[in-house]
Chains A and B, each alone.
Chain A
Amino acid sequence: MEKKKILEVKNLRTSFFTPSGEVKAVDDVSFHLNEQEIIAIVGESGCGKSVTQMSVIQLIQSPPGKILGGQVLFAGKNLLEYGAHSAEMRKIRGAGIAMIFQEPMTSLNPVLTIGQQITEVIRTHKKCSQKEAWRTGVESLGAVGIPDAQECMHKYSFQMSGGMCQRALAATAIACRSKVIIADEPTTALDVTTQAQVMELLLSLVDKFKTSIIVVTHNLGLVTRYTDRVYVMYAGKIIESGTTEDILMRPWHPYTRGLLESVPKLSAEKDKPLVPIQGAPPRLQDLPPGCAFMSRCTYTLSECQNEFPMLRRVGPNEHWAACHLESGVDKP
């Protein structure tokens, strides 16, 4: 059965115009999210994964940033046709597409209680009394597994742990029954045990509220259990995409394989050194004409120098990769 696409991004381009030149943070990025699906966008810091998501909900600071082109199709409409400050866009943020930010502590307002913040979101999007909004808030907090929801409404963010703040943010996202939740590095600042709890929570939201979720992360280890499909980004472009199984077990692009190998594993031999990806990502101001990963790649071919590899289909199940390699990398 063909799944219904709930969000589709086509050829999105976002640039920042800085004194040192144009920074193409998002360069011709296309991806889609099906209903009741969790997808992951994976990449290192500065690869444009967060800017892509910010462009979707048009929270790019302008100047210096500008969305130069492309389409963001949500519920049959192209969101980029609405201006960033339009009333339509404001309605969609929070009620249609909600965002959970990286640092749960800093994305909550420390001088307002959790209750004040949740009811504010609810009352912005729904015509209801303060009392009703409060009740919905308590319900949402309960739904994300906060033990004493009533009491939590009166708390401030600094009185709660990181994991609890992350739950409160998720509660805000589901309070208005958002169709899509974008979680930007939802677990980076958290303990391993809390990470697992937060990811299980996101998974449960898909079942309970028929939400679709985009998880942005730099850790491929996190996607194994929870996501259906994975997009790998590097230097502003998507360089590989496919089902989670394909990406983890049959990576095609050397970068994907590098990411996989650099995750420390308990099953690995202890005295064997870890295999990092050498070097650092290139500066987006001066990208080489060919493949941006070339300088860190161990498989370099002659065409990598000048020819940018286009995304092409490399396997069944919609497995795509942007690499000149004939048969992909060996299995890690």
Chain B
Amino acid sequence: MSDATQSQPILQFENLEIHFPIRRGLLGRKIGDVKAVDDISFSIQKGKTLGLVGESGCGKTTTGKGILRVYNPTGGHIYYKGVDIATMPKAQISPFRRELQLIFQDPYGSLDPRQSVHAILKEAITSERRPHSSQEITNRIKELLQAVELDVSMGDRYPHEMSGGQRQRVGIARALACDPELIVCDEPVSALDVSIQAQIINLLIKLQKERQLTYLFVAHDLTVVYHIADVIAVMYLGHIVEMMDAKDIYCKPMHPYTKALLSAVPITDYYVEKKRKRILLEGEVPSPIHAPLGCPFHPRCRFATDECKRTMPQSCDVGGGHQVACHNLGTVTD
């Protein structure tokens, strides 16, 4: 990450906040906020992948959708190629939407069941407002299907006639149709079988190399993120608690939450697993409406001190771009 900081990142988050108001009563008075994303900052270099990991409800999907302005940020900035797309009026955002695409978690829910693959891709291609000849469209669809390693005859199929892996490939082809610069992948493999997961991950890596794509990869499974990401950011309750080079996550995790996440990952080596000690997290992620004071993780943390209950730890650099937000870095053990 150190050499990368010199060049201009393609996407940069600065203290981004996405809060949702809670309204009650007849007049819809605002009584509070759901702080889905609270003060996060990171940047992605062109052609790289940032993996965003966390449990359900930690705000990772909201962050991803914030880039596309599906949700409007309530504070902070998102710089895309130097332009702030967070504060831009919504009417001006559409040219950027072609360059910023999204791959969804549920490939079945995100494809129109009444459209054939051909029609789905055609719609994405013609969203670029200029005349397209029918020959051009046919060629482009063929090229897209080949890019995602689908048979060209698949163009006539409907989503229900395909397997989960094939549907996800169509979802990827649709995202590629606009020649995007950056793709937000929102849990793209978590609904798939393990054997198919690996196919899709390999495909995403291949496409990235071929087309110089930048990914924001959102997932709850650390192993998947480890394979695809260059930088991993661990989110908890709207905050980034640790961010590091992906190579470091296995040997140098520092935040107690990252350690717990790592320990929950199932492994297939029988002898190692039988000897391994696991850290079981008690309870669940607290609701972001009643977020705890101080460090968001302290109610579930084994190392929590009084200070953790009072003040929010600041993110500090421990070398090599590895950032951790924890008060007790010295005392946290395995």
Contacts and interface: CB of A to CB of B under 8 A. Distances in A.
Interface in B168-203: 193-199, 201-202
Interface string A23-46: 000000000000000000000110
A258 B268 CA distance: 12
B195 A262 contact: yes
Contacts of A267: 250, 267, 269
Interface string B153-177: 0000000000111100000000000
B280 A200 contact: yes
Interface string A212-223: 000000111110
A259 B24 CA distance: 50
A225 B266 contact: yes
Interface stretch (A61-69, A112-120, A191-199, A316-324): A191-199
Contacts of B220: 191-192
A197 B201 contact: no
Interface stretch (A5-13, A169-177, A269-277, A303-311): A269-277
B198 A220 contact: no
Interface string B194-236: 1111110110010000000000000011111011000000000
Interface stretch (B78-86, B90-98, B270-278, B322-330): B270-278
B3 interface: no
A45 B269 CA distance: 24
Contacts of B249: 266
A192 B264 contact: yes
Contact of B264 (A44, A195, A278): A195
B306 interface: no
B74 to A, nearest CB: 25
Contacts of A110: none
Given A147-B283, A193-B260, A265 B196 contact: no
A264 B270 contact: no
B57 to A, nearest CB: 8
Given A192-B221, A264-B224, A275 B198 contact: yes
Interface in A260-307: 260, 262-268, 270, 273-278, 280
A238 B38 CA distance: 50
A161 B284 contact: yes
A43 B129 CA distance: 46
A236 interface: no
B246 interface: yes
B289 to A, nearest CB: 14
Contact of B195 (A196, A245, A276): A276
Nearest to B229: A270
B266 A219 contact: yes
B261 A192 contact: yes
Contacts of A273: 202, 205
Contact of B268 (A220, A275, A280): A220
B56 A191 contact: yes
A183 interface: no
B302 interface: no
Contacts of A191: 55-56, 220
A280 B165 contact: yes
A149 interface: no
B281 interface: yes
Contact of A193 (B165, B247, B264): B264
Q: Taking each of A44, A197, A276, which has the highest tally of chain B beta carbons within 10 Å of its own beta carbon?
A: A276
A184 to B, nearest CB: 15
Contacts of A162: 56
Contacts of A262: 194-195, 197-198
Contacts of B271: 249
A164 B284 contact: yes
A56 B265 CA distance: 31
A329 to B, nearest CB: 15
A160 to B, nearest CB: 10
A45 B268 CA distance: 20
Scoring B163, B166, B195, B223 by chain A CB atoms within 10 A of each residue's CB, the highest score goes to B195
Interface centre among A147, A193, A197, A200 (most CB of B within 10 A): A193
Given A161-B284, A263-B194, A264-B224, A274 B201 contact: yes
A196 B264 contact: yes
Given A162-B56, A192-B55, A221-B267, 5 more contacts: A44-B193, A248-B270, A264-B221, A276-B196, A277-B195
Interface of A: 44-45, 147, 161-164, 191-197, 200, 218-222, 224-225, 244-245, 248-249, 258-260, 262-268, 270, 273-278, 280
Which 10 pairs, one residue from A and one from B, show the smallest C-beta to C-beta distance?
A: A276-B198, A221-B266, A274-B198, A264-B223, A276-B199, A262-B198, A196-B264, A277-B195, A224-B273, A248-B270
19 contacts: A44-B195, A45-B163, A161-B57, A191-B56, A191-B220, A193-B260, A195-B264, A196-B264, A196-B266, A221-B194, A224-B273, A259-B194, A260-B268, A262-B195, A262-B197, A264-B221, A264-B224, A264-B226, A267-B250
